[in-house]
Chain A
């Protein structure tokens, strides 16, 4: 690659041709402040609309200041990143942005995590020299079951637009209108619920301000916990334990399962259960469904729908309901672990406790924002009472723990309650891309071949590449498997199936980068792929440490089938653990 030399703040630096001033400066340890710019290295996506003008620098011989994030280096360029002219310009730009931004930082849900707030602090802004009583742009607020849009706080960085269109290919958001009136909105400025939005929440994860925030039900959870007439139980998704620690200053990838259980018990939950239990249950149902379809296919039945697609990810479910309504009979009908847990809790566990379902409150802690939407879907309620009453995110749990002055660090590790807290290694890996299908293969192999699996780890299914393909040998029968994470990759895989390019038996899809570990409810990773990798490794570490690593060997799952469900795909299972899908596409 051709190299060129430029000078930044009197230091010479050699960069590849095509590099921007911002990157060149970074190479010699100069961090030019940015606002709209975002580098999602693990997705190979750079958002650099060059719109905010915070990153301007002076280039000798050039009349205007240049936005460093989107100005390419040229040979011999002489750059100044912090002279008086640059500093004054940045300050003016920031003041102008702030002049049209609500000053409610004290009560903003993004306070402490807001890039605009941090920048304002860093630049020492103490007053805003804008015209007094200047007009502010206002826009109606949009509340959806999973996320909230407050466009008064939008600074038009367009990061959300990039992630929604280029990464997830959902296309719910676009910049609309012009000038002072411009906002990011769905088509025809509809509410998000009426748009193709899947509630994956990745836009929330990249929003630099409080313009896009999660819908937060924590207050309702606190109220339920303090209501003596309610029995409140909680389930925690596998990915939460691999990331919660980050909110308390622990290294990414620190597993905090035991401390998390202790914290939840300390918060007053009557029982602390594990979504992993329901993940094992999912494998029983989904794995049996997979074997049923493959078996019938191998017997020569013509109308068998293959591949079978996983259905654990609610954003993915929303995505195919919107974009693949012609393929609604392909995904597994198995509900997600969150909803399986809710159904078992309200229809089985409530009876064990002898409490009415209305008096049993089921709370889920999820790495996900789409789960908030999922638990509100009508088909997951009985007489208006939801199977899962409230879903809060990993970040919201951390805030709750902090607000109840629980010292997370000093907690002694505790164990989940039984019976809905027992789980296997197969369930833990549900949190990472490739994990669901590996868990399914572990069980399906043994049920299909009748043989004991000698090697439990299917390394060929693991990894962080966006699309992966592998073939697993079921004792002479090759089973072709496809895996995708991020909806844009899912689309590529699905289009390939639609056009007949791919032939798979089973496909696993997760909407977020890395799977649930990169979910929008997790501590924000700001595009640092090493954080995703650390969580990924933690999930597989937890799996390898488990005594039981195959879902069908979970003793409480075996008991649940014996005492209550009968067998996988039984009538009771169909009623409680399976669902159906809807065509949501607007013609």
Chain B
């Protein structure tokens, strides 16, 4: 868990997101989604602030955050990598791709590289089974990926 001390601008961002959804606890998932887009992750302080605006318990917010694998409490890398482990990708060698990524980046699934450049996660099916195995970096989709291509793909991210 990473501690983030909220500055006034952070609080304002959260408040605006909550007001957009009329501080309705029924829209908690959408609010968390927006907040994660804004902050990159959902640290304790952000969850407490959201609970405060929606007038619900922090435990409830945390319950939702931990239930959905989409939500994360650890910051993601600048270029978040997601490997599809859905059935089609899996049978066409997603695991080898994943192992290669773990070797190259020297991190585990869910981890972030020391320089904060890449983070690595798995997901289930992006709806592009025809391109299996599929890899996402940020919003860019790589199809029919082979382990041997990984180094080249990673090297293309210079910044």
Contacts and interface: CB of A to CB of B under 8 A. Distances in A.
Pair from one complex: yes
B59 A187 contact: yes
A172 B58 CA distance: 8
Interface stretch (A13-21, A174-182, A510-518): A174-182
B56 A171 contact: yes
The SS class assigned to the A binding surface is loop
Contacts of A188: 1, 44, 47, 58, 62
A177 B56 contact: no
Contact of B60 (A174, A177, A195): A174
The SS class assigned to the B binding surface is helix
Interface in A151-191: 165, 170-178, 185-189
A177 B67 contact: yes
Contacts of A177: 66-67
Contacts of A187: 44, 47-48, 57-59, 61-62
Given A187-B47, A188-B1, A188-B44, A171 B60 contact: yes
A244 B113 CA distance: 61
Interface residues of A, number: 19
Contact of A165 (B44, B48, B60, B62): B60
Interface in B37-62: 44, 47-48, 56-62
> Which of B47, B60, B61, B66 has the most chain A CB within a 10 Å cutoff?
B66
B57 A171 contact: yes
Contact of A173 (B1, B44, B59, B66): B59
> Which of B44, B47, B58, B61 has the most chain A CB within a 10 Å cutoff?
B58
A323 to B, nearest CB: 11
Interface in B57-80: 57-63, 66-67, 69
A186 B48 contact: no
Nearest to B6: A587
A174 B48 contact: no
A196 interface: yes
A63 interface: no
Nearest to A195: B59
Given A176-B66, A177-B66, A178-B67, A171 B59 contact: yes
Contacts of B44: 187-188
A586 B57 contact: no
Contacts of B58: 171, 187-188
A37 to B, nearest CB: 21
A195 B62 CA distance: 13
Contacts of B67: 175-178
Given A188-B1, A188-B44, A178 B60 contact: no
A165 B56 CA distance: 9
B57 to A, nearest CB: 3
B119 to A, nearest CB: 20
Contact of A174 (B1, B59, B69): B59
A156 to B, nearest CB: 12
Nearest to A172: B59
Contacts of A185: 59
A172 B66 CA distance: 16
Contact of A176 (B1, B56, B63): B63
Nearest to B48: A586
A470 B60 CA distance: 36
A28 B131 CA distance: 60
B63 A175 contact: yes
A163 to B, nearest CB: 13
Given A187-B47, A188-B1, A586-B48, A165 B63 contact: no
A110 to B, nearest CB: 24
A413 B63 CA distance: 52
A176 B62 contact: yes
A173 B69 CA distance: 20
A491 B87 CA distance: 51
A-B interface, 10 closest residue pairs, ranked by CB to CB distance from nearest: A171-B57, A174-B59, A174-B63, A187-B58, A187-B62, A187-B59, A176-B66, A177-B66, A176-B63, A174-B60
26 contacts: A165-B60, A171-B58, A171-B59, A171-B60, A172-B57, A174-B59, A174-B62, A174-B63, A175-B63, A176-B59, A176-B66, A177-B66, A178-B66, A178-B67, A178-B69, A185-B59, A187-B47, A187-B48, A187-B59, A187-B61, A187-B62, A188-B44, A188-B58, A189-B62, A196-B57, A587-B48
Given A171-B58, A174-B59, A178-B67, 14 more contacts: A165-B57, A165-B60, A170-B57, A173-B59, A174-B60, A176-B62, A176-B63, A177-B67, A186-B59, A187-B44, A187-B59, A187-B62, A195-B59, A587-B48
